[in-house]
Amino acid sequence: MPAIRALFWDVGGVLLSNAWDHEERNLAVEHFHLDKGAFESRHQEVLKPFEEGQLSLDDYLGRTVFYELRSFSREEFRRFMFSLSKSKPEALPFARSLAIKYLMGTINNESRELNAYRIAEFELTKTFDLFVSSCFVGIRKPDEQIYRLALDLVQRPPDECCFMDDRHVNVEAAAKVGFNTVLVKDTQQLQQELEKLGVRP
């Protein structure tokens, strides 16, 4: 098997908490006393363009929350959304330890403003060489085209690359393209699986 030279990481659920998944949305529903059914229905209607960079955060909030008068402001809601992002304590240091030897990239589904905030807040540019984020490239996982685009950008064959994600559907799609893959449960398990592939600091 060829040596792995490039590592591609999911962000939410692997390196950081999820940006705006169902758990985060549930917290917002509870905190702001939203009608969960109405909010989730509106969220699902605009999720694709939101994560593909076609819809700004302000537009998203206008369609999902502020289509009627609220007792809180858009800025309060934005701050709450951003405050939910937390790092996974062991994951980021481990990723940084690999950045010395390997080309490092992300392949993740995130909206533009949340993605930009998380890159800056957690200093991800110190670890990653490129960000194949859905909001930048207009394609979302598990569409196989996002993985093919990542290969085009780094000019590496898939068997020299490894993709890591905590969702089976995304790992399965990367494997179909030819990536080595790891389904991530926790950082210790990830480290063990990478060592089996010859990947170590």
pLDDT class for 138, splitting at 50, 70, 90?
Answer: very high
Mean pLDDT of 147-157: 98
Residue 89 is predicted with a pLDDT of: 87
pLDDT class for 25, splitting at 50, 70, 90?
Answer: very high
Mean pLDDT of the chain: 97
pLDDT class for 1, splitting at 50, 70, 90?
Answer: confident
Residue 102 is predicted with a pLDDT of: 98
Q: For the segment 103-129, what is each residue's pLDDT rounded down to a tens digit?
A: 999 999 999 999 999 999 999 999 999
What is the C-alpha to C-alpha distance for residues 59 and 78, in angstroms, rounded to an integer?
12
Is residue 50's pLDDT more than 90?
Answer: yes
Domain 6-17+87-196: CATH architecture, name and number where available: 3-Layer(aba) Sandwich (3.40)
Are 159 and 1 within 8 A, CB to CB?
Answer: yes
SS (H, E, C) 73-138: CHHHHHHHHHHCCCECCCHHHHHHHHCCCCEEEEEECCCHHHHHHHHHHCCHHHCCCEEEEHHHHC
Domain 22-83: CATH superfamily, name plus number: Putative phosphatase; domain 2 (1.10.150.240)
Q: How many residues does the chain have?
A: 201
Q: For the segment 189-199, what is each residue's pLDDT rounded down to a tens digit?
A: 999 999 999 99
CB atoms closer than 10 angstroms to residue 125: 11
Q: For the segment 51-85, what is each residue's pLDDT rounded down to a tens digit?
A: 999 999 999 999 999 999 999 999 999 999 999 99
| Intervals of CATH 1.10.150.240 along the chain | 22-83
